[in-house]
Amino acid sequence: MQLTNQSYQIQGVNVLDIADEFGLPLYVYDADKIIEKIDALRSAFDGVNLKVKYAAKALTNLSILKLMQLQGIDVEVVSVNEARLALMAGFAPEQVMYTPSGNAWPEIQEALELGVQLNADNLPLLEQIGQTYGDRYPVALRINPSLLDGGMAKIQVGHENSKFGIPNQYNAQIRAIATKYGIPIIGLHVHTGSDFKDSNTFLKIADVLFEMAADYPDLQFIDFGSGFKVAYREGDYFTDLPDLGAKVSAAFRSFCDRYGREVQLCFEPGKLLVSESGHLLVGVNVVKENPTRTFVQVNSGLNHLIRPMMYDAWHTILNVSNPTGTEKSYDVVGYICETDTFAADRQLPEVRPGDVLSLENAGAYGFSMASNYNTRERPAEVLVYEGKPYLIRQRETFEDLIRGQVDIFSEKLRVKSEMLEQTLLHQ
């Protein structure tokens, strides 16, 4: 979002006009930002056979998935329903990688029947694949590199106490199962979930996979998952893509030489691709001056963006209606009946009732983690594409909220009110 001529704009469209047209609260995504991130990632890894798989769980709207497809991106999913969404968005089954983490076998089998690529994260699952499909279903393996980085407390890399992946120490057991059934192992994968800024830490993880790879002659790809750190505020560290790209590409090329042929290098960014593109626009209901603090109470809350309350995440907030107002300190809070703080003691240009605020960096794990808590509708979603805002999801309605509920007491209540009427008549 850019401040131009004293108004905030996305691709030249005034954000206040978007708010007027589609109503508040509203998620707005900037397609250009997504494309810019994809390009940055690609140019950082120029010179290797790179495949980017978008981690759909960050933001699952079908139009976003289709936008990814337009950019030549594949997709990574974590549930059978995300797999269905990806196919609905037009991805071919082989472009969809499914990474269950402890999902039930019937769900996994449903996904496999759709033909998607499986990334297995435990040994019993590998055994089950062998028993069910013999050598007919090629799989990738999610490996836990059992590496706890000594240096920085913040980077807790796929450590051995994490639930994810098959510990690399079990390489012999993996090979035993794969050999028993002849299961083709076509990919090695690691996703640590950590935010890495230190490319050397990352290279250590890569080495674990490179070493294991020697035991698997059929590999088509090595997938390093995600973990790209995004800056949420000025001064935040973020992954230095060109630096990471140069180091990892060099290491990867020399690995391919040793391996004897070229394989694909994959990443699965979620946050990196969509976080910055997203803005949660909210309206100010009340400005409440208490003796010690001034609360800005907005028409949204943790039901729409849970990251501040769940992860203590910091989201930049802009006063879109009054960008040049005098700065004051505010607590920006939601309308949920719970402590529901978006930002405490935040300096903002003077906020007035009716102002539109924007919570920045709200594209990833914003709408996709939204709920109906307090019986509130989830917001509409808008995508700004080629200079025009498009509605890509309607705002929910009250009917949406009660759909699926089954009423078992209507007859009893009718009888009760009839009896009450009779009693009144006979008095």
List residues near ligand PLP by CB under 6 A: 55, 57-58, 76, 78, 99, 191, 225-226, 228, 268-272, 364
Nearer to ligand PLP, 15 or 143 (CB): 143
Least separation, in Å, of the C-beta of 166 and ligand PLP? 14
The answer to the question of whether 325 is labelled as a binding residue is no
Amino acid at position 365, single letter: Y
Q: Do the Cβ atoms of 362 and 27 come closer than 8 Å?
A: yes
Least Cα distance to 141 among 105, 164, 165, 115 occurs for 165
Amino acid at position 178, single letter: A
Q: Do the Cβ atoms of 60 and 76 come closer than 8 Å?
A: no
Give the integer Cα–Cα distance in Å for 325 and 298: 18
Residue 397 is encoded by which pair of tokens?
């309605």
Is residue 13 within a helix (H) or strand (E), and if so which, with residue range?
A: strand 13-14
Coil, helix or strand at residue 49: coil
The answer to the question of whether 227 is labelled as a binding residue is yes
Residue written as token pair 């397609």: 31
* Other CB atoms within 10 Å distance of the CB of residue 115: 13
Least separation, in Å, of the C-beta of 364 and ligand PLP? 6
Residue nearest to ligand PLP (CB): 270
The answer to the question of whether 365 is labelled as a binding residue is yes
Of 153, 172, 337, 406, the catalytic one is 337
Least separation, in Å, of the C-beta of 256 and ligand PLP? 23
337 is catalytic: yes
Residue 344 is encoded by which pair of tokens?
């405490």
Least separation, in Å, of the C-beta of 313 and ligand PLP? 12
Least separation, in Å, of the C-beta of 195 and ligand PLP? 8
Query: E strands within 250-355?
Result: 264-267, 278-289, 294-298, 317-319, 327-333, 341-349
Nearer to ligand PLP, 78 or 231 (CB): 78
Q: Do the Cβ atoms of 57 and 77 come closer than 8 Å?
A: yes
Least separation, in Å, of the C-beta of 189 and ligand PLP? 8
The answer to the question of whether 160 is labelled as a binding residue is no
Nearer to ligand PLP, 15 or 111 (CB): 111
* Other CB atoms within 10 Å distance of the CB of residue 305: 27
Residue 146 is encoded by which pair of tokens?
């059992």
Nearer to ligand PLP, 37 or 346 (CB): 37
Give the integer Cα–Cα distance in Å for 371 and 367: 8
Q: Do the Cβ atoms of 100 and 107 come closer than 8 Å?
A: yes
Nearer to ligand PLP, 282 or 364 (CB): 364
For residue 94, what is the DSSP state?
Answer: G
The answer to the question of whether 232 is labelled as a binding residue is no
Nearer to ligand PLP, 8 or 367 (CB): 367
Query: Which residues are known binding-site members for substrate?
Result: 307, 311, 338, 365
Catalytic positions = 337
Q: From the annotation, which residues make up the binding site for pyridoxal 5'-phosphate?
A: 227, 365
